[in-house]
């Protein structure tokens, strides 16, 4: 009887040990499921960054990741996307100028002529300022900043007159994003800013609902606004980053392997986005000139006059930010 009991116990222990050896490691085989979305269409800066992240992450994780990918406004505009990523309906999105609607710190980037070049841009976003922005987003809106891509340096287009000095903006009906800082800046410059969804801009320009708009070459080319505009003024008045985010709870739920893969894919997407912006600036001016077939006049602005006009604007936008120490840190970082 005792011998039989010992054999039974040994056999049970053997089976248990064998099960441990052959059972799949559920944690190791866990598949990461993500929902990615953007309002813009293929070719736009935000869509390019999100698609790059998707492809890089697939390269990192292979069949350990399943991605649902939406673009072209399938799930709504940027405002809707920001709501959905905060509630967890979406996991990863790129955000443009509307980031300022979530956290007033982003309003500092509406200060005209803040950045002189991309070297300064990288210095700011890749340093302590970028880390402060990430910490602020995590604390205030529950989003993890994975990186900062590029929408780019913005230019003014319109159908009334070439914009050479600030006075040329007086009375101009100018479409802007909804950022309070951008609206304030153009109001102080004498324009009449009008906010609307980017997909409505072409028809609004064509019908005279607005006289002009302000965007980087990528969007001017992508949306073919050169077809319905007479003047493009090369102002480079604002640099707009892409704030690339993941729902914070989702990010914290990732395994170590998944988090490393997400971070690496985001870093590569950030680099691809910035290079895309650089390439656009190098190529699209000539392309737009060719496509417009001489129907659009191009001009430079009086930078000195605009920078002088921007000084009081910077002070007012700083008040909107509501964090003097942060504004001063940004101003110090760009020096």
Q: Indicate which CATH number applies to the domain containing 312.
A: 3.40.190.170
In a domain, 252, yes or no: yes
Number of domains the chain is built from: 1
- 111 in Cβ contact with 310 (< 8 Å): yes
Please give the model's pTM, rounded to 2 decimal places: 0.90
The angle subtended at Cα 174 by Cα 148 and Cα 155, nearest 5°, is 45
In a domain, 177, yes or no: yes
Q: Mapped to the 3 state alphabet, what secondary structure does 256-277 carry? A: HHHHHHHHHHHHHHHHHHHHHH
In a domain, 118, yes or no: yes
- 144 in Cβ contact with 218 (< 8 Å): no
Write out the two tokens for 328: 């001063």
* pLDDT score for 29: 62
**Tell me: the pLDDT tens digits for 137-162?**
999 999 999 999 999 999 999 999 99
Average pLDDT value over all residues in the chain: 93
In a domain, 262, yes or no: yes
Pairing of strands 239-247, 231-234: unpaired
* pLDDT score for 68: 98
Q: Which residues, other chains included, contact 67 with Cβ-Cβ below 8 Å and sequence gap of 6+?
A: 33, 34, 35, 36, 54, 57, 58
pLDDT class of 75 with cuts at 50, 70, 90 = very high
In a domain, 1, yes or no: no
Alpha-carbon gap, residue 204 to 199, rounded angstroms: 10
**Tell me: the pLDDT tens digits for 245-282?**
999 999 999 999 999 999 999 999 999 999 999 999 99
Write out the two tokens for 146: 């994975």
In a domain, 217, yes or no: yes
In a domain, 22, yes or no: no
In a domain, 27, yes or no: no
Residue 246: give the domain boundaries.
32-333
Q: What average pLDDT does the segment 216-241 reach?
A: 97
């Amino acid at each position: 009887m005792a011998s039989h009991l010992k054999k039974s116990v040994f056999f049970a222990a053997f089976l248990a040990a064998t099960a441990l050896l052959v059972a799949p490691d559920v944690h190791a085989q866990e598949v990461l499921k993500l929902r990615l979305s953007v309002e813009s269409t293929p070719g736009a800066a935000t869509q390019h960054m999100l698609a790059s992240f998707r492809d890089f992450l697939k390269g990192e994780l292979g069949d350990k990741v399943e991605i649902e990918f939406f673009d072209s406004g399938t799930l709504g505009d940027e405002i809707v996307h920001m709501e959905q990523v905060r509630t967890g309906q979406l996991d990863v999105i790129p955000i443009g100028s509307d980031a300022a609607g979530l956290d007033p710190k982003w309003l500092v980037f509406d200060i005209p002529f803040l950045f002189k070049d991309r070297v300064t841009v990288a210095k700011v976003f890749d340093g302590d300022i970028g880390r402060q922005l990430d910490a602020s987003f995590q604390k205030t809106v529950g989003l993890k900043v994975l990186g900062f891509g590029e929408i780019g340096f913005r230019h003014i287009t319109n159908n009334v007159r070439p914009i050479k000095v600030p006075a040329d903006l007086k009375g101009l009906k100018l479409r802007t994003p909804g950022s309070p800082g951008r609206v304030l800046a153009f109001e102080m410059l004498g324009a009449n800013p009008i906010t609307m969804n980017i997909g409505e801009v072409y028809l609004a320009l064509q019908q005279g609902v607005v006289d002009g708009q302000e965007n980087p070459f990528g969007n001017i080319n992508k949306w073919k606004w050169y077809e319905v505009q007479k003047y493009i003024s090369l102002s480079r008045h604002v640099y707009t980053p892409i704030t690339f985010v993941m729902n914070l709870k989702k990010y914290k739920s990732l395994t170590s392997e998944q988090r490393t893969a997400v971070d690496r894919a985001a870093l590569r997407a950030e680099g691809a986005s910035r290079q895309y912006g650089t390439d656009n600036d190098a190529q699209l001016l000539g392309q737009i000139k060719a496509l417009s077939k001489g129907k659009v006049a191009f001009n430079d602005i009086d930078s000195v006059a605009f920078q002088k006009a921007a000084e009081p604007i910077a002070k007012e936008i700083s008040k909107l930010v509501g964090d003097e120490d942060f504004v001063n840190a940004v101003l110090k970082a760009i020096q």
